[in-house]
Amino acid sequence: MKRKYFINIYIALFLISCDIKNKNSLEYDYLKFLYDSVGVNLDDSTSNEFMRTQYLKSGEKEFLYHYNQFKNKIEKFDLETGLLVKTIGYPNDEPYVIKLVQGISVVNEDSIFLYPSLGIRGTILINDNGELIQRYLPDKTKDLEASLVNHISFGAQRTLIFGDKIYFIHYPLFEMSNPSNINSDFKFEVIYDTKSNKVEYLDESSFPIFYHNKIWPSNHLQVSREVNCGKWIYSWNMEDSILVIDKENENSTYTNAKSKFKNKEFEPFRMMPNNDQKIQFTLTNLKYYGIYYDQYRKLYYRTVQLPGSYQKRADAKLLDASRDFSIIILDDSFNIIDEVLFKGGIYNIYRLFVGEKGVYLPLNNPNYKGQKEDILHYHIFNFSR
Amino acid sequence: MKYVLFICFLSIYFFVSCQSESSKFQKYTKELEIVFDRPALVINLDSCSSCYSVFFQSVKKFELKNYIIVVIAKESKKANLLSNSKNANVFHDVKNLAFNYQILESLPRIYLTDGTVIEVISPEIIDRFIDED
């Protein structure tokens, strides 16, 4: 009996010490990669949210484009100085009106796409002076619901243009908590061919198989996509691996990109969850978020939100923003090189973009006290040093 | 008899829930030092990223009627872009006190002095309210 008692105490002490070690091992190492910073100047009609942005390298210059909903215009910032270069209007009278701009894509200084919310029909292409180059009107469908395209078009789900085709990530309008909807029918990648004026879907872009027929909260069913050299890379919120579709060689593989901070598997709900249970799941489970390619260092970055805390009557948005996060760094063959841990409550993980100097993270996290209304600071991290 | 009891129960339930919505809003307006004597529109620009673009025109009409407007936004600049706080009927909730009183989910609401709460799911609801009033 005494021996059994002793073994139990030993196991308990061992588990406690492991737990303490795990907690202690969470060392924030992001500051050693901090390389530079820039402050973007904001005028009286520009909020520091900077949600709908797009990076562009043009010649020797780098620009950050920002769709400003308060002005109904696009602002073009010099990324070196943070100064506003110009404000670009766009045709906004009938028949060109876009009631709600969902996002923008900037191919070059004279090719800026603006996408309407909930659809592709009405997308316009303008030049640097805001003059209309083209308006896109894919065929109308009789079924209103079928004509809706709930695309995101910013951040880690930005819309891309290759050749004559525009690639959107869109989300279903059906109830995502219903397990019978979680199958391979819905394709997340919508392709609009501007030449043929047809819309098609990418077959491989459906829910991962382990999601199928299970109950998950919709906030953990998002996908981020990056494209590089004919490879389409998908990062799902709950998938340790990333899906790499090689269009040229016509094959697709899952390759490991698991976070070292993941210590429990995702468990689906057994019964339909209420709203609080969904929020609790999202906040207390690790979440893979965005996938980004760094053309200057030939690296991929996968962002990961670490499990956070949940309080029933607290603001879920603030709890989410307080979560620590990490960036997994992968080489261009998708081998993990490193994973860097960031402290939560400072940077806004949803607004990350990559530039020539490195990874730009804005200091506009909702919990960050140092925010100012006339300037938005970005910290730039170089992970190749 | 059963139906009468059921209807009584429902009426009491709605009366109590309306009372509680109304009393929460009364406390909220008190904390923001608002005299709640007219219809009040509450809109949160931080939790609804498209609310500015969608509701801007309707909010302006509401403002012209001299009704109360409460704009929830962490940035006072952003709140001013929708409705300027120099207007005596416009109030800004930059600390999101509305969350503590559960005044809104993400979409705007119109609170009336008789305890009625109108969920604003589209700008037409504001327009119709102004027309009918």
DSSP for residue A28: -
Does residue A29 sit at the B interface (CB-CB below 8 Å)? Answer: no
Q: What is the pLDDT of residues A327-348, one digit of tens each?
A: 999 999 999 999 999 999 999 9
DSSP for residue A183: S
The whole-angstrom separation of Cα A67 and Cα B116 is: 37
Task: State the nearest Cα–Cα gap between B53 and chain A, in angstroms.
Answer: 7
> How much is the average pLDDT of A30-35?
96
Task: State the nearest Cα–Cα gap between A43 and chain B, in angstroms.
Answer: 10
Task: State the nearest Cα–Cα gap between A343 and chain B, in angstroms.
Answer: 22
Q: For residue B30, what are the domain limits?
A: 2-132
Residues 198 to 257 of A: which have CB under 8 A from any B CB?
A: none
Residues in chain A with CB shorter than 8 Å from the CB of B75 are 47-48, 373
Q: What is the pLDDT of residues A153-174, one digit of tens each?
A: 999 999 999 999 999 999 999 9
- Name the residue of chain B whose CA is nearest to A44's CA: B77
Residues in chain B with CB shorter than 8 Å from the CB of A117 are 50
Q: What is the 3-state secondary structure (H, E, C) of chain B?
A: CHHHHHHHHHHHHHHHHHHHHHHHHHHHHHHCCCCCCCCEEEEECCCCCCHHHHHHHHHHHHHHCCCEEEEECCCHHHHHHHCCCCCCCEEEECCCHHHHCCCCCCCCEEECCCCCEEECCCHHHHHHHHHHC
pLDDT band at B13 (very low <50, low <70, confident <90, very high): very low
The whole-angstrom separation of Cα A167 and Cα A250 is: 18
* C-alpha distances out from residue A361 to A37, A329, A352, Å: 9, 15, 5
The whole-angstrom separation of Cα A253 and Cα A244 is: 5
- Among A14-28, A55-69, B28-42, B91-105, the range scoring the smallest mean pLDDT is A14-28
| DSSP secondary structure letters along A145-159 | HHH---B--SGGG--
Contact A53, A94 (CB under 8 A): no
Q: Write out the two tokens for A336.
A: 């993990």
B interface test, pick of A45, A47, A73, A363 with most B CB neighbours within 10 Å: A47
Note whether A69 contacts B52, CB cutoff 8 Å: yes
- Name the residue of chain B whose CA is nearest to A117's CA: B50
Task: State the nearest Cα–Cα gap between A151 and chain B, in angstroms.
Answer: 14
Task: State the nearest Cα–Cα gap between B131 and chain A, in angstroms.
Answer: 23
The whole-angstrom separation of Cα A271 and Cα A178 is: 10
Say what the pLDDT of residue B19 is. 52
pLDDT at residue A352 tops 80: yes
Q: What is the pLDDT of residues A74-108, one digit of tens each?
A: 999 999 999 999 999 999 888 888 989 999 999 99
Note whether A70 contacts B49, CB cutoff 8 Å: no
The whole-angstrom separation of Cα B20 and Cα A183 is: 42
Residues in chain A with CB shorter than 8 Å from the CB of B50 are 69, 100, 117
Q: Helices B123-132 & B51-64, crossing angle to 10 degrees?
A: 10
A interface test, pick of B49, B53, B76, B86 with most A CB neighbours within 10 Å: B53
Q: What is the pLDDT of residues A274-298, one digit of tens each?
A: 999 999 999 999 999 999 999 999 9
pLDDT band at B11 (very low <50, low <70, confident <90, very high): very low
Residues in chain A with CB shorter than 8 Å from the CB of B52 are 69-70
**Which has the closest alpha carbon to A294: A360, A365, A379?**
A360
Burial B73-87 (b: 16+ CB within 10 A, else e): bbbebbbbbbbeeee
B interface test, pick of A41, A44, A49 with most B CB neighbours within 10 Å: A49
Q: What is the CATH number of the domain that holds B109?
A: 3.40.30
| Pairing mode, strands B109-111 and A53-58 | unpaired
Does residue A150 sit at the B interface (CB-CB below 8 Å)? Answer: no
Say what the pLDDT of residue A25 is. 57
* C-alpha distances out from residue A226 to A172, A207, A292, A360, Å: 20, 17, 6, 17
Q: What is the pLDDT of residues A42-67, one digit of tens each?
A: 999 999 999 999 999 999 999 999 99
User: Which of the two residues, A116 and A385, has the higher pLDDT score?
Assistant: A116
Task: State the nearest Cα–Cα gap between A132 and chain B, in angstroms.
Answer: 22
The whole-angstrom separation of Cα A200 and Cα A35 is: 42
Does residue A369 sit at the B interface (CB-CB below 8 Å)? Answer: no
Q: What is the pLDDT of residues A232-251, one digit of tens each?
A: 999 999 999 999 999 888 89
Total domains present in chain B = 1
Nearest CB to B75; choose among A72, A317, A373: A373
Residues 301 to 340 of A: which have CB under 8 A from any B CB?
A: 315, 317
